[in-house]
Structure 1
Amino acid sequence: MRLTFLGTGTSVGVPTIGCRCKVCTSHDPHDRRLRCSAMVETEQTRIVIDCGPDFREQMLRQEFRKIDALLITHSHYDHVGGMDDVRPFCTFGDINVYSDPVSEKSLRQSLPYCFKEHLYPGVPKISLHTIHPHEELQINELKIVPLRIMHDKLPILGFKIGKLAYITDMKTIPEEELDFLQDIDCLVVNALRFTNAHHSHMLVDEALAFARRTSAKRVFFTHMCHDIGLHEEVNKILPAGTHLAYDGLTVEVDV
């Protein structure tokens, strides 16, 4: 199973418009971060996690093939703002979108033209499916377990797929969710920056402490803002087995 990081940036991306800091003016492509999204693929199956406003640009860089499932962590714009751009993939059939009830309601409100009885020609054909934490989802040969994550006071979803756990926009996690993270090899988790605490996102030290409570041998940080520092410099000081992810990075993970 191959994990591809489509985007590893926070809600405004990196570089940030108008900023002249060393990260935003860096010529290292690892320091350019589109909005947070990822893709999990096997020979038979493609799953996309979140569909932010950079989705079109992200998918132009990928092979054009069927999306078997689009998993939504939550309905904030930086995670669903590219939903209309799934239209080309409707060539392969309806796009099956899986989200919790709160995100499903939000998607119906933000994309009402996709869910009318009589659809305007050319609109994306989206089939919404409601999922809940711990209720196992089977997409072809891949088993997916939704996890409960807290984004400040907003309950959102993380996803366990085989030996991979993908978590973003987390501030805290219910204690019982840790039981689902004791047989993973690879953890993807958000780490906004090193200092200046945020009410709904973890800092690097918080993400490291969380990772140590799982069985993950490999940890990749995502959803990072420019304040985290230069990719090359930060990777040198992170603990062994922990890395800043970057747009386009691919990682092999056991199913």
Structure 2
Amino acid sequence: MDDKMTITFLGTGTSQGIPVIGSNHPVCLSTDPKDKRLRVSVLISWEEYNYVIDCGPDFRQQMLTNPIERLDGILFTHEHADHTAGIDDIRPFFFRQGDIPVYAHPRVLDSLRKRFDYIFADEDRYPGAPAVEVHEVFKNKNIPLGDLDVVPIEAYHNRLQVFGYRFGEFVYMTDVKRVEEEEIKKIKGAKILVVNALRIEPHHSHFNLEEALEFVEKVGAEQTYFTHISALLGFHEEVEKKLPENVHLAYDNLKIKI
């Protein structure tokens, strides 16, 4: 594998994004661009490959801001709308390339089939609809993508199973509340970890800041970036100053290289 992998944070916000519609919260009123967060998604690029993890309702806007000529596939963490609702906007890629590969747990694929039946239909297809090439993702079964074997990492979002993914020395996890020890072993040795840190107060299905920092200690990655951030975490610049030296808040359109 080429030693340069580029990670582009397409979105780093929670399910409603920041600013939240109609909110007078001080962070939602901030003029700092780093406090404006689209729904979570990340683009992973190496050699000629481009893969996206999650495809939320801001996907079109994200692709216009961070244009790529080719999309080799989408990996889904889980089925919630802020991670999946932009799938119709793969159409420009489909028109140029043909069926777009998608990778997800069978349960997530079932949900997508119900909600986007016209995309997953085998016959009587609407001529303008995109189509996908479906790949099921299972715990303990690596996914060959390009010249990489990508490792699914199982976690829990309250009671809902979700997948994180390890691409070489890069690990991306979001909407995580609990990770078993056997899965943490799959993360060890990563240079870059991305994980959710929703807010200061505890939450029933997400790491809060304290839990995210405890997870950082357990994993021991060289650098960690927090994502899936709500206004309740605070102003980007103020929170960033309080974090350990090797821990950062991600922000929309941040690019990092491995």
* Cα deviation code 1:23-60 (max 9, x no counterpart): 11111100000001001001310010000000010001
* Cα deviation code 1:215-238 (max 9, x no counterpart): 301010000000111111110000
Among 9, 19, 23, which residue is 1:15 paired with? 19
Structure 2, unmatched stretches of 5+, are: none
Q: CA shift at 1:63, angstroms?
A: 2.3
State how 1:80-91 maps to structure 2 within 5 Å. 80-90=84-94, 91=96
Q: CA shift at 1:174, angstroms?
A: 1.4
Paired position in structure 1 for 2:219: 214
Report SS of the residue matched to 1:73.
coil
Among 198, 205, 229, which residue is 1:224 paired with? 229
Q: CA shift at 1:64, angstroms?
A: 3.1
Q: CA shift at 1:137, angstroms?
A: 1.0
Residues 77 and 163 in structure 2, CA contact (< 8 A), matched pair in contact too? yes
Partners of 1:168 and 1:133 in 2: CA distance: 16
Paired position in structure 2 for 1:127: 133
- Letter matched to residue 139 of structure 2: P
Q: CA shift at 1:188, angstroms?
A: 0.1
CA RMSD of aligned residues (A): 0.9
Q: CA shift at 1:200, angstroms?
A: 0.4
* Cα deviation code 1:107-152 (max 9, x no counterpart): 1000111222121101011111101122111111222101101000
Partners of 1:21 and 1:50 in 2: CA distance: 27
State how 1:9-158 maps to structure 2 within 5 Å. 9-90=13-94, 91-116=96-121, 117-158=123-164
Paired position in structure 2 for 1:202: 207
User: TM-score w.r.t. structure 2 length?
Assistant: 0.96
Q: CA shift at 1:193, angstroms?
A: 0.7
Q: CA shift at 1:85, angstroms?
A: 0.6
Among 158, 179, 182, which residue is 1:176 paired with? 182
Q: CA shift at 1:16, angstroms?
A: 0.8
Q: CA shift at 1:154, angstroms?
A: 0.6
Partners of 2:149 and 2:6 in 1: CA distance: 15
Number of equivalenced pairs: 252
Partners of 1:8 and 1:120 in 2: CA distance: 33
- Identity percentage over the alignment? 45
* Cα deviation code 1:181-221 (max 9, x no counterpart): 111010000000112x1110010110010111113010100
Partners of 1:66 and 1:93 in 2: CA distance: 11
User: TM-score w.r.t. structure 1 length?
Assistant: 0.97
- Letter matched to residue 36 of structure 2: R
Residues 10 and 66 in structure 2, CA contact (< 8 A), matched pair in contact too? no
Q: Which runs of 4+ in 1 moved over 3 A?
A: none
Report SS of the residue matched to 2:185.
helix
- Letter matched to residue 19 of structure 2: P
Partners of 1:134 and 1:215 in 2: CA distance: 22
- Letter matched to residue 123 of structure 1: A
Residues 53 and 76 in structure 2, CA contact (< 8 A), matched pair in contact too? yes
Partners of 2:181 and 2:245 in 1: CA distance: 26
Report SS of the residue matched to 2:219.
coil
Structure 1, unmatched stretches of 5+, are: none
